[in-house]
Structure 1
Amino acid sequence: MSKFSDYLEYLINRNGEPISTLARGAHVERTSIHKAMTGERILSYKSAQKLVEYLRLSPHETEIFFEYMNMSLQGETVFETRKQIVRLLKTLAEQPPFIEPEKRLDFPRLEAFPALKNQQLYSGKFAVRSMIRQAVDQELGADKPETLTNIPADNGFFLQYIYTIFQQYNTRLQVTHIMPYPSDREHGAPAGIEILADVLSLSLSAGTQYSSWFYYEGARDITTPFPYYLLTSSCLLCIERDYETVMCVTHSEILQYYRTFFSRTLEQCRPLIRFQKTPFEILEAYSAGTSENSYYTFMPQPCLGRFYTPSLIARRLRKELPFYQELVEKSIQRFSVLHEIREHYYTFFTKKGISAFMENGIFCDIPRQLVSPCTMEERKTLLKQLRDDIADDRIMGRLVNDQLFVLPSNLSFCISEHRRLDIFTLQENDASENFYNIHIDESLIGSAFLDFILYLPKSEYLLSKDETLEALDSLLSADSAVSHS
């Protein structure tokens, strides 16, 4: 029995009518209801909608009904993983924008900060959090502030506090973080995506000053009371598994021992996130994320790269750049690959994103300092090519249903069939220099995102092909009307 079967049985019992009467009243086959209750078959969406109306379910009950139904259709783990990705995207969309370092506050000086006492025990969650905060704050005043830790990402407080530091203050703090990552291929994906959400939020604030590494979690060590630690230049915090007790150590030889141990451990771990920052590295990351005959992406704008001609690239890249010619050659090489893709070219985008492109002509998949805006004629040509390729099913292009699905305005997601994920930061304005690629090469994450993007066209999160074409036609006709006037 599934959650959907149990919930359907509860609703039918609450209704009080025999199933035969319910079936006649709702115009749904009695055998379909019986088999749905026993888990032998899933109801069609049309039949489910009829039952919802006949049983007079409240909006909350209707939401639960269809959530459990989708869970049965997709499988509980797959369903929860997809929901976690939707939540992750919503979290990133709501995250405050990156604050340039010169606009951040200076961290207040802490001359009167109380000294941390050697081998002192502190108990209680609030005391543990206070000690973590005290150790980090004290380290911010060091000449070369650095924090090394193996606190799990699901601890919550540590990552949130470090995130606050980087959002608010101008600091040179370097954080290196080793964390356990779920190894269960069958059930570990939802927990892995939840970890990624926290790590990404911090990475987008701290950039390369936050370095995340992982190892696959095996059997839990129950032989030591302090399996986690946080190490700074002046102290070591040894933390209990349930975060109820912390021991502070300041002895220099012990601190050095832990630094050496941390370095050796790091060699056995894999980076969860890698950064590429130069235009050439970003182009290389784009290319590596594209297979011979497949490309999957979602971002505010549609990916128009398959329509960039060599002459358009040469015109739009700024000629005053010292590396102009090399950048033209690399860009032509990159976008020619997209032009050759014939089967699996997926691009999902927002109405706001495509409307912005038609208004300002600025590409969002190339750093703004490197390109000049497209002319209106170039914009219309690119949009018309996109429209025609969608209409002829040469590409899978769809608008996002922004009532149900939120995409971050400053990020582009590119998923490879080889199960690697690249997230490109999109500049919010011409003054911003915050552009780089975040590369994630972990199979559970890559598989989850590939499954998600292949699932999207069958989901309620995207508008239909006809609705997408209608929106594109409306933009094209509006621009034509403006041009003729």
Structure 2
Amino acid sequence: MTKFSEEIKSLIDESGETIQSLAKIGNLDRTTLQRIKSGERLPTKEFFGKLCVALRLSSAEKEILLELYEIEKWGAQCVDNRKKIIALIETITELTEQGIQFSKEMSKNETPHSDNNDAVTHTIITNEAAVLRTICNAIDRELFTNDHPHLQMFIRGEKEPVYNHIFQRMIGNKKHLVLEDVIHLPKASEGSTTAHYLTTLKSVISISVLKNVAYQSNYLYYSESGELEHSALFPYYILTSDRTLTLSSDFKRLIVYDNPDIHELYGDDFSSLLETTDSFIIESRNLYEIFGLDQVRVPKQFMNALPAIGVYFTKELIESKANKQLPHYEFLLEAIISTYAQYQKDKSAITTYFSLDYLRGFVFGQCIFFPPDMCHPFTREEGLMFLEKTRDDLVNGVITAYAMSDKLKANYGFFEILQTDDAIRLVLHYDDAEEVIFKAIELKEKSIIELFDDFFKYLPKSDYVLSQAETITQLNDMIEAVKFTQQT
């Protein structure tokens, strides 16, 4: 028996019901229920829901059973990867929406870790746990003893504990950190290794949102052989203001140097890496750069505050809404028109996941995504037109769109995720004091794209979205509400 069927058997036994009585209570097929209990088959989503009702499960019990069900159906690694993407989305919302509610101050007289390497020219560490502990000690030493801490790192992308340590130290901290890194990503990876990249991505984005961290992040893909050309034994390193930590590829050996000449040598190498690698996180108010308008790439999957209303934008409408005072207005306008024209051509190939709350706000004249200095609000009449066209195309099967449910704790007005054939592009746009911050992260690693592709394909089968029928009903209700307000 599987863990899922064992849990089903346990719940049925605890309920005091027989297969026959439970089938009658839930209007379930008795033979199917018996086979599910014995582990011979899995229930359908509808059968699973009815069974949970018949067993009178609490929300917590249902979530536990649902996870076992999904693990049995898709595999533990697949379920774990999806949970990591959900955690990434919810973390972005938490950090951009709520801000940091506390502060802490690092003192030169108090450190959380002991550091016994102060007077040592170099120290060799040969244990993986000790390597991580030494890295954390070095980071803490930099943060605690320097008025202007500065870290430079070239490490593998799956080493999330290092980034999480920096995030935990800096969240709510009064000190300001300058952080520069080059994240080394593989061209191909699989299984748990790829899952680590998702966790690292969450920590990296979290760090980038902190106001007290000036963060420049670049990336470098592995060579075809998976090796680095300039150093085979200790290819990775971390630089503090005065120390050099060199790391082996397997992260099990580390050498700490307290030598200015070595520090300068690695500093020069890091500068060269920055010059020859591309930005991993881009922060700019240049929308052309943020949205990657240098080439038209139609998304296959699109998680956004709004459904794919861009497919209904005309050239005249775009011209009337874009602020003509924007830098490079003509250049930007041409790129937007070309992009939306391609969206219109390929709209049947795009699946969008959107927020009903933001769509409602958009229809009633709120600025979504862009502040008023970039884009003029749409009128209620224009909003109604978008609603009706979206509804009609959805009913007729011309487009595919799902409204997100409340299960996913996300603020869709602060981010969007686009999946194309060759990239995942995550765009953040959130308020910071009196301006909107725009950031873009693009991932081209094939296995990570496949994880997001799996996540998006899973959404319509999950409780995170409404069905298309429910989505259409919500759009109809919204259309009626808009028409009613026009009459009053």
- What TM-score does the superposition give when structure 1 sets the normalisation length? 0.79
Contact 2:403–2:471 (CA<8 Å) still a contact in 1?
yes
Aligned to 1:118: 120
- What amino acid maps onto 1:185 in structure 2? E
- Secondary structure of the equivalent of 2:350? strand
Report which stretch shifted further, 166-175 or 71-80: 166-175
Is 1:194 the counterpart of 2:199? The answer is: yes
Q: Give the count of matched residue pairs.
A: 470
CA separation of 1:255 and 1:69: change in aligned 2, threshold 3 A: same
Aligned to 2:282: 275
Is 1:385 the counterpart of 2:409? The answer is: no
Q: Distance in 2 between matches of 1:335 and 1:160?
A: 42
Aligned to 1:2: 2
Match of 2:438 among 435, 439, 446: 435
Aligned to 1:473: 476
Task: After TM superposition, give the deviation of residue 385 of structure 1 in Å.
Answer: 1.9
Is 1:256 the counterpart of 2:264? The answer is: yes
After superposition, where does 1:341-380 map in structure 2 within 5 Å? 341-364=346-369, 368-380=372-384
After superposition, where does 1:88-103 map in structure 2 within 5 Å? 88-96=88-96
After superposition, where does 1:36-435 map in structure 2 within 5 Å? 36-37=36-37, 39-96=39-96, 116-119=118-121, 129-136=136-143, 141=148, 145-150=150-155, 154-156=159-161, 158-162=163-167, 165=170, 171=176, 173-179=178-184, 184-205=189-210, 209-213=216-220, 215=222, 229-237=237-245, 248-259=256-267, 273-275=280-282, 277=284, 278-285=286-293, 287-290=295-298, 295-321=300-326, 323-364=328-369, 368-416=372-420, 418-428=421-431, 431-435=434-438
CA separation of 1:55 and 1:146: change in aligned 2, threshold 3 A: closer
- Secondary structure of the equivalent of 1:393? coil
CA separation of 1:234 and 1:288: change in aligned 2, threshold 3 A: farther
Task: After TM superposition, give the deviation of residue 383 of structure 1 in Å.
Answer: 2.5
RMSD between superposed Cα atoms in Å = 4.5
Report which stretch shifted further, 185-194 or 390-399: 185-194
Contact 1:421–1:441 (CA<8 Å) still a contact in 2?
yes
Q: Distance in 2 between matches of 1:230 and 1:20?
A: 65
- Secondary structure of the equivalent of 2:438? coil
Contact 2:280–2:442 (CA<8 Å) still a contact in 1?
yes
CA separation of 1:399 and 1:229: change in aligned 2, threshold 3 A: same
Contact 2:326–2:374 (CA<8 Å) still a contact in 1?
yes
Contact 1:238–1:246 (CA<8 Å) still a contact in 2?
yes
CA separation of 1:367 and 1:191: change in aligned 2, threshold 3 A: same
CA separation of 1:257 and 1:474: change in aligned 2, threshold 3 A: same
Q: Distance in 2 between matches of 1:153 and 1:12?
A: 42
Contact 1:301–1:354 (CA<8 Å) still a contact in 2?
yes
Task: After TM superposition, give the deviation of residue 156 of structure 1 in Å.
Answer: 2.8
CA separation of 1:280 and 1:208: change in aligned 2, threshold 3 A: farther
Task: After TM superposition, give the deviation of residue 463 of structure 1 in Å.
Answer: 1.4
- What amino acid maps onto 1:349 in structure 2? F
- What amino acid maps onto 2:6 in structure 1? D
Q: Distance in 1 between matches of 2:356 and 2:172?
A: 29
Contact 1:153–1:198 (CA<8 Å) still a contact in 2?
no
- Secondary structure of the equivalent of 2:427? strand
- What TM-score does the superposition give when structure 2 sets the normalisation length? 0.78
After superposition, where does 1:24-43 map in structure 2 within 5 Å? 28-37=28-37, 39-43=39-43
- What amino acid maps onto 1:133 in structure 2? D
Q: What does the per-residue CA deviation read over 1:415-464, in whole Å, with 9 as the maximum and x for residues that have no partner?
A: 11x14111122243894152232211111221111222222222211112
Q: Distance in 1 between matches of 2:215 and 2:465?
A: 34
Q: Distance in 2 between matches of 1:66 and 1:172?
A: 42
Task: After TM superposition, give the deviation of residue 239 of structure 1 in Å.
Answer: 7.3
CA separation of 1:342 and 1:47: change in aligned 2, threshold 3 A: closer
Report which stretch shifted further, 172-181 or 197-206: 172-181
Q: Distance in 2 between matches of 1:134 and 1:474?
A: 58
Aligned to 1:102: none
Q: Distance in 1 between matches of 2:364 and 2:328?
A: 29
Unaligned runs of 5+ in 1: 100-104
- What amino acid maps onto 2:42 in structure 1? I
Contact 1:419–1:447 (CA<8 Å) still a contact in 2?
no
